[in-house]
Amino acid sequence: MDNDDQRKHKPQVEIEGLRTSHISIHNEPTSTENEHSEQALSTDGSTSVDRQTLTEASDPIPSLPSEKTGDSTPVVTKKPSLTRQILALAIPTLGATIAQPLFLTIDSAMVGHLGAEKIAGMSLAMIIINTVYGMSIFLAYSTTAETAQAMGAGNERRARELGVHAMWLAAIIGVSLALLLAICGIPLLHALGAAPEIMPYAQSFLFASLPGLAASLITMAATGVLRGMKDTTTPLIAAGAGAALNVGLNAFLIYGINLGIVGSGIGTSIVSTIMAISLVIILARPAHTLGVSLRPSLTGIRQSARIGGPLLARSVAIRLAFLTSIWSATAISVNGLAAYQVVMSAWQIPLFLLDSLAIASQTLVGFAIGSGDRSQLRTLLRTLSWWGIFAGIIIGALTAALSPWIPSFFVSEAVVRNMAIPAVIVNAVFFPAQSHAFLLDGVLIGAGRGASLAKAAFLNLAILLPALWLFSLARPALTETQAVAVLIGLVTGLYMLTRALTNSWITWFSPKHALIPRHEDGAQSAE
């Protein structure tokens, strides 16, 4: 049954900005695993927006294409282009993404003025805290996808329910991890090699930060809900206000009342709690108005955990990949490790941009799938893919052009700078593949392909690990500069290229999970 036939049998829920007649790129019909006209497109192993959800959709998405004037004459409202939709979501997301590491950097600078031992202790504790945050990012990603699909189906009530379940799950995970770290924190610090002179400071900062852990995870989940509703401005405001408040409060606690490094941890915990409460209130009021229960639901929490589990596994695999690369860099030399870290630090800056585009992709793809409009999904995915490639080409070209100067922003030693320059150029060559991989990450997360992404992540890891082993064998024959360049080529080149290829396979070629099967695309083009 083609799209025209489907429209005869099923009313269409029109999404803001996702009507193909208002998009400059020619649309073509798509095919997915489940082609039931009465339900949204399915995800891995489950359908987040099911038949009941669609029939219950009593609240259509705002800004429908036609409105009635007083004389009952339909007025067609022109929808924003797909490019504008992407930018409208990505730009605020970029701001929020930058705000968080920025105020952590300011925190570090404040503590750094207290002495080397204190900043060293804080840095060691932050390894544990950042690992927890990184592993918990699935709370935002899975929530964005599920909420967007529900909104795309026109069921805001279901979207609000998913948000409530996700925030309760975040609270449970946060409290559990805080208790676990309270028990195991000191052994973990010892395992990381905490020297006796910095141990008291690492311990103090870690324990002072634990009260805000659950709040931080709730903020992640709430941010995911808002992004799924195409609201990236509220998370930006929350992140910006939180960053400003964190700087002021930490300055008062660290220097004003002389709490030192403990003050930094307490201040961050307080700000995290305020942000979480603010976002919960913002989300709770309309949920209550729609009749959504704000009490924890064991069934709903289990569903959120089941949906987010594969993305958690994916995060573990990615973390392992980069941890093993650090071990390989450590074996080169002290200067080699420093050069490697310079390149990786410089790499993180454009990744903020790619992350924001990927998050925009999550939302738009989720809306398209929730609406059941496969034709629009096809247009969206092809557009996002080209965005990824072009963004990578531009970033890569700029990185290569600026390669003689980029290391100078991160290190002053000439030997380290010169060692890093060839590695920066190697990284620049692979930016198109990296960008494509990131954009398709967002596409597949938005489509609910968490299980497929998890499998792909471990496959990518299985390819990287033997390559790093071979690198360890060849390293004695290489100069330090060559070794750093080769290692960067393996991590940001080979590893990211395999991610791009596996993501492309899932998106277009997989017999079971392809969002846009290539044979149907070719058949449609022939028509």
pLDDT tens digit sequence for 348-390 = 888 888 888 899 889 999 988 888 877 888 888 888 888 888 8
Q: Both tokens of residue 415?
A: 């030997």
In-domain check, residue 527 = yes
pLDDT at 130: 83
In-domain check, residue 301 = no
Same domain, 64 and 121: no
Torsion of CA 288, 292, 297, 301, to 10 degrees: -100
Residue 30: other Cβ atoms inside 10 A? 27
pLDDT at 79: 62
Closest listed residue to residue 510, CA positions, set 166, 32, 1: 32
pLDDT at 413: 81
pTM: 0.77
Same domain, 151 and 60: no
pLDDT at 48: 42
Q: How many domains are contained in the chain?
A: 2
pLDDT at 521: 53
* Residue 351 backbone zone (phi > 0: left; psi -120 to 50: alpha; other: beta): alpha
Do residues 264 and 250 make contact, with C-beta atoms less than 8 angstroms apart? yes
Same domain, 399 and 256: no
In-domain check, residue 86 = no
Centroid of chain to Cα 496: 16
Q: Both tokens of residue 79?
A: 């929808």
Phi, psi at 58, each rounded to 5°: -95, -15
Same domain, 221 and 178: yes
pLDDT at 396: 93
Same domain, 315 and 421: yes
In-domain check, residue 314 = yes
In-domain check, residue 303 = no
Same domain, 360 and 408: yes
pLDDT at 4: 44
- The domain boundary, picked from 296, 322, 350, lies at 296
In-domain check, residue 305 = no
Closest listed residue to residue 2, CA positions, set 371, 379, 254, 374: 374
pLDDT at 213: 92
Q: Both tokens of residue 431?
A: 């930016």
Same domain, 125 and 274: yes
Same domain, 460 and 486: yes
- The domain boundary, picked from 247, 264, 296, lies at 296
Domain that holds residue 34: 1-79+310-527
Do residues 177 and 213 make contact, with C-beta atoms less than 8 angstroms apart? yes
Same domain, 127 and 274: yes
In-domain check, residue 174 = yes
Residues of the chain with pLDDT below 50 are 1-77, 522-527
pLDDT at 421: 94
Same domain, 99 and 75: no
Same domain, 49 and 108: no
Same domain, 444 and 522: yes
In-domain check, residue 304 = no
Do residues 394 and 353 make contact, with C-beta atoms less than 8 angstroms apart? no
Do residues 264 and 208 make contact, with C-beta atoms less than 8 angstroms apart? yes
pLDDT at 170: 94
- The domain boundary, picked from 296, 325, 355, lies at 296
CA angle 449, 450, 455 (to 5 degrees): 105
